[in-house]
A and B are shown apart, each in its own frame.
Chain A
Amino acid sequence: MKILVAEDEPIMLKTIELRLKKDGYTVIGTSDGREAMEKIDAEQPDLIITDIMMPYASGLEIVGMVKQQQKKDIRIIILSAMGQETTVLEAFDLGADDFIAKPFSPNELSMRVKRLLSK
C-alpha cells in the first residue's frame, strides 16, 4: 500500500513517515505542494495525507485536484493546526475523508490510516 505524505514541517514529515513505515506501508514524502501534485500523478498512491498550509499549493488544491480527476479510490486525510476550522470544512466539502489536528498522536494516525485503507 502506497501513501503520499505532503507536509512542509520537516519534523512532522519525518515522524509520520516513520510511523507509517513501521506499519509496513510504502511512504512517499514531500514538503512542496506542486511536487506533491506531480507525485500523485506519477505514483498513484492509495492514500494521501496532506497539510492544509503548504508552499506553492495548499492542501485544498490537492484535495480539489484529486477528487476532480475522479481518482475516487484515493483516500485523503487532512492535517490541520488549531484555528483552521473553516478551511477544514471546505476540505471536507471538496471531498476529504478524514482530518487530524496538530499536535497529533502517531498511534491515532496509524489507526485512522488502517481504517481508511481497509474500506
Chain B
Amino acid sequence: MPINDLLDTLNWKSELLSTIIWCLLAGIGFVVSYLLIYQTSRKREVARKDEINRKFQLLVEKALFFEPEEGETGNEIIIPPKFEKFMRKEVYRDFLLQQIVDTRKYISGIAADHLEELYLQLNLHNYSLKKMNSRKWYIKAQGIQELALMNQTQFAEAIQPYTNHKNSYVRLEAQAAMVRLFQFKGLDFLGATSYTMSDWEQMKVMEQLPKKPPQETAAIKEWLQSTNQSVVLFAMRLIYNYRLYQLHDELAACLSHPVQFIREKGAKFLGNIYNETTSALIIRRFNLESKRYQLEALNTLCLIGDEKNIPFLYQKLSDTDYDIKLAAAKAILESIEDGRALIAQHPAAGTYPLNSILAEFKAEQAA
C-alpha cells in the first residue's frame, strides 16, 4: 500500500536523520571539550611561564650589565644551577631563548656581546642549529633568524645553502642572515639566486645593511646585468640608498633596459645621484614611455633644477594629462628664478587647470 511505502521511506530517512543528529551532538561535544581543555592547559602554561619569567629576566639583566670582577679575566657569567633543569624542558628553553633574542634585537655594544656569551654558555646555539635542520619551514626559518641575531658567524656555511631554498620564508631568513653577519659581502647570493625577490624580501635584506656605503662596487655592476629582474632592482636600490655617484652611468644605462618597471625606477633613482648628463638621458625617450616613467622623470628633473631643462618642461605644460602638467610646473618652479611668471606666460595659463596650479603655487610662496 502506498501509505506503507511512504512510511517505510520516511522511517529510513528518520533513521538516517537520527544517526546524523547523534553524530552532530557528538561532534559538538567533542569540539566543546577540546576547547575547554585547551583553554585550561593554556592558562596553566601562561601561569607557569610568568613564574619563571622573573628568574629568566634576572639572568638576562645580569648578562646585560655584566662587569667582570677585579682581577678576573674570564667572562663567564655565573648561571644558577637550577637553570640546567629548566633548559631540559623544551617549553622553557624556547621561552628563555626568546627573551634573549628579543632583547638582543634592540641592543648593541658590550651589552650585546654579553648576551651572545650567555646564549653560548647555555648551549642555545646548538638548539637554534637543531631548529634550522628541522623539516618544518617555520621552525627552520626561526632557527636561522636566531643564529643571525645572535651573530653566529661560525654557522654561516650551514646557512648559506638556504639562501636559494624553495620556501620563500626560509630563503628570506637565510639571505637576511648572511647580510646581517657579513654585511655587503653577505650579498653574494644575489649572483646565484634563481628566485624573484619580492619587495618585502628586498626591504628586509636592505634593512640588515650598515649605514656606511660599500667600499667595493664591482659586484653591484654585475648585479645590474643580471637576468633576474629583482636582482637588478635591488642593485639599483643600493645605488639609490647609498648615493653611489660613481655608478651613475651604470644606473643611467637602466633607462634603456627592456623591462618597463626597471626603466621607471631608473628615472626615479637617478634623482639621488644626478650629474650634468642626467637630464638629457632621462628626457631622451620621454615621449615613448609610460605615464609612470614620465612622472618619475619630471620629479627627478624637479630635483635636478637645471635651467637647461626649461624648454622641455615648458612644452610639457601643454600635455593633456593634468598630472603631467602639474609635475612639469613644479619642476619649472625649481629650475628657474621666477618660475611662476614663466608659467603665467603660457597661452593656457588663464584656463583650468593651469590657473588652479598657479593659485596653489602663489599660496605656497606667500606662506
Chain A residues engaging chain B, CB cutoff 8 angstroms: 9, 11-12, 14-15, 18-19, 22, 82-83, 102-108
**Number of A-B pairs whose CB atoms are under 8 Å?**
44
A19 touching B65 in the complex, CB below 8 Å, given contacts A105-B112, A107-B111: yes
Which A residues lie within 8 Å of B57 (CB)?
14
Tell me whether B207 and A105 are in contact (CB under 8 A).
no
Tell me whether B111 and A12 are in contact (CB under 8 A).
no
Cα distance A83–B108 when bound, in Å? Answer: 17
Chain B interface, DSSP helix/strand/loop, else mixed: helix
Tell me whether B103 and A106 are in contact (CB under 8 A).
no
Tell me whether B109 and A108 are in contact (CB under 8 A).
yes
Q: Binary interface profile of B, 88-120, with partner A (CB < 8 Å = 1, else 0)?
A: 000000000000001101111111100000000
Tell me whether B103 and A11 are in contact (CB under 8 A).
yes
A11 touching B102 in the complex, CB below 8 Å, given contacts A103-B107, A105-B108, A108-B109: yes
Select A82's contact among B103, B111, B207, beta carbons within 8 Å. Answer: B207
Which B residues lie within 8 Å of A12 (CB)?
106
Tell me whether A15 and B109 are in contact (CB under 8 A).
no
Chain A interface, DSSP helix/strand/loop, else mixed: helix
Which B residues lie within 8 Å of A19 (CB)?
65
Tell me whether A15 and B107 are in contact (CB under 8 A).
yes
Select B111's contact among A9, A102, A106, beta carbons within 8 Å. Answer: A106
A105 touching B110 in the complex, CB below 8 Å, given contacts A15-B64, A82-B207: yes
Chain B residues engaging chain A, CB cutoff 8 angstroms: 57, 61, 64-65, 102-103, 105-112, 207, 211
Tell me whether A105 and B111 are in contact (CB under 8 A).
yes
Tell me whether B106 and A15 are in contact (CB under 8 A).
yes
Report the 7 A-B pairs with minimum CB-CB distance, sorted nearest first. Answer: A105-B109, A103-B108, A105-B108, A106-B111, A12-B106, A103-B106, A11-B103
Cα distance A107–B107 when bound, in Å? Answer: 10
Select A22's contact among B65, B107, B207, beta carbons within 8 Å. Answer: B65
A106 touching B211 in the complex, CB below 8 Å, given contacts A18-B61, A18-B65, A19-B65: no
Cα distance A19–B111 when bound, in Å? Answer: 11
- B241: nearest residue on chain A (CB-CB)? A83
Given contacts A11-B102, A22-B65, A106-B65, 5 further A-B contacts (CB under 8 A): A18-B65, A102-B106, A104-B109, A106-B64, A107-B111
Tell me whether B110 and A107 are in contact (CB under 8 A).
yes
Which B residues lie within 8 Å of A104 (CB)?
106-109
Which B residues lie within 8 Å of A83 (CB)?
207
9 A-B pairs (CB sep. < 8 Å): A12-B106, A83-B207, A103-B106, A103-B107, A104-B107, A105-B108, A105-B112, A106-B107, A106-B109
Cα distance A11–B111 when bound, in Å? Answer: 14
Most chain A CB inside 10 Å of its own CB: which residue of B109, B112, B211:
B109
